[in-house]
Amino acid sequence: MKKLLLLLSTALLLSACSIGNDWDNPMPEEGFLIIAHRGASAYEPENTLPSFELAEDLNADYVELDIHLTKDGELIVMHDDDVKRTTEATGKIKDFTLAELKELTANEEKGEKVTVSGRDEEEAYEIPTLREVVEQMKGDLRFVIELKDTEQYPGIEEELVRLMKEQQLIGSDAKGYPKAVILSFDKTALKQVHKIDPEIPLIQLISFDEGEEAALTKKELKDILSYASGINVSYEALTPPFVNTMHGEGLAVYAYTVNDAEAALRLKAMGVNGIATDEPDILDE
């Protein structure tokens, strides 16, 4: 009898372990988070300090930004791995030193200046380092940091975690929100971060094709649950059953990039935990 009880309790324990994460969902489960995508990028040049400052003024819960590593090992904030689209120069970020990048101007469109009131234009349009953004905005803003093109930047995960520790970005703020979250399409990079510091909340980005409904195989889900606490999905693919299933598994569900107010309201009603949007005031009256 004792043996039978032992077998039963072991089986129960194993089945419990196979469901959901080993840790709590780090993002608040209630509410609907507004994540300012590249800052308030509908109104200011993307991934610049003015864009992040405006996101704060518009009461975004988080700002999303993309990071890359310069030739001399500095983490800088830009979407593309090439400076061509958003500056007056051409070339890969990895081939520029930070000093060289600081000579450039981060305009929304090459050659086009956008007015930023009350600021020195040169300063406003500098390409910011991640440290500068965090130091400038810390205390006021929370960060969703996207790792991109990691194959070009060996060691970027270690450098990011080092900076997050230095800037005390690991852990929650007074409201119980994580001060910073890392997201990526690149699961290898996320797993590497998880290995370095399992306390850092991770979100797996997932893109579905146009017309496709969101779905994950059991194998994919199990894999994601081994390192991430949420997923961020191309929003058109989301359906109520998928969102419910993911919640049942202990994963938070976010949606990108939602610039349509009706879609935002639909996703909110679906129980999605938040949206990445270029317009942080998308749901303001």
| Catalytically annotated residues | 37, 79
The verdict on 149 binding ligand G3P (CB under 6 A) reads no
Structural contact between residues 134 and 168, judged by C-beta atoms closer than 8 angstroms: no
Q: Decide whether 9 or 242 has the Cβ nearer to ligand G3P.
A: 242
Q: How far is the CB of 65 from ligand G3P (least distance, A)?
A: 9
Which string of x and - marks every residue 73-112 that binds Ca ion (by CB under 5 A)? Answer: ----------------------------------------
Binding residues among 84-143 for ligand G3P as defined by CB under 6 A: none
Using rule CB under 5 A, residue 66 touches Ca ion: yes
Give me the helix-helix angle, 156-166 and 130-137, nearest 10°: 20
Mark 201-230 with x for binding to Ca ion (rule: CB under 5 A) and - for no binding: ------------------------------
Contact 160, 148 (CB under 8 A): no
**CA-to-CA distance for 47 and 36, rounded, in angstroms?**
10
Which pair of structure tokens corresponds to residue 101? 């990048």
User: How many angstroms separate the CA atoms of 68 and 26, rounded?
Assistant: 25
Q: Which residue among 33, 34, 37, 127 contacts ligand G3P (CB under 6 A)? A: 37
Q: Do 169 and 179 contact (CB within 8 A), yes or no? A: yes
In the bound state with Ca ion, the residue whose beta carbon lies nearer, of 39 and 50, is 39
Out of ligand G3P, Ca ion, none, what residue 205 binds, judged by CB under 5 to 8 A for its kind, is ligand G3P
Contact flag: residue 61 with ligand G3P (CB under 6 A): no
* CB of residue 64 to Ca ion, shortest distance in Å: 6
How many residues can be counted in the chain?
285
Q: Are 181 and 62 in contact (CB under 8 A)?
A: yes
For tokens 């109520």, name the residue: 240
Six-digit token pair at 92? 């890969």
Interface residue list for Ca ion (CB under 5 A): 66, 146
